[in-house]
Amino acid sequence: MDILEFGAAGITPVDKLTYTAQASTHGQVYSGPEYISAIPFIVSARNKVYRAAFLKEHKLQFKPNMFIKDVEFNIKALFLSQRVMATGTLCTQFL
């Protein structure tokens, strides 16, 4: 697997839930371009696990001094990936 995406929830500083985002491929593996077309994914990098060898092979890293880095990083990663899957399990919370 090149990229595994998991569910995320947005919370306030007092732990009030503001949103949840959970996509699942139900065990199906997609290529990155297929995934972009078929799955409503979150652009954030904080709800994904990336295979280290995949990142090194494609020289993917965040650019210094660039804001909102997740969008560019994830679009590049997804277009280059051959194996992407999503689990609907909530694993992280964003403040």
Residue indicated by tokens 């280290």: 52
pLDDT at 59 over 90: yes
User: pTM for this one?
Assistant: 0.87
Q: Say what the pLDDT of residue 27 is.
A: 96
With residue 88 as reference, give the H or E element that holds it.
strand 84-94
Per the structure, the complete domain to which residue 9 belongs is given by: 3-94
Structure tokens at 57: 């092979």
Q: Say what the pLDDT of residue 63 is.
A: 81
As for how many domains the chain has, the answer is 1
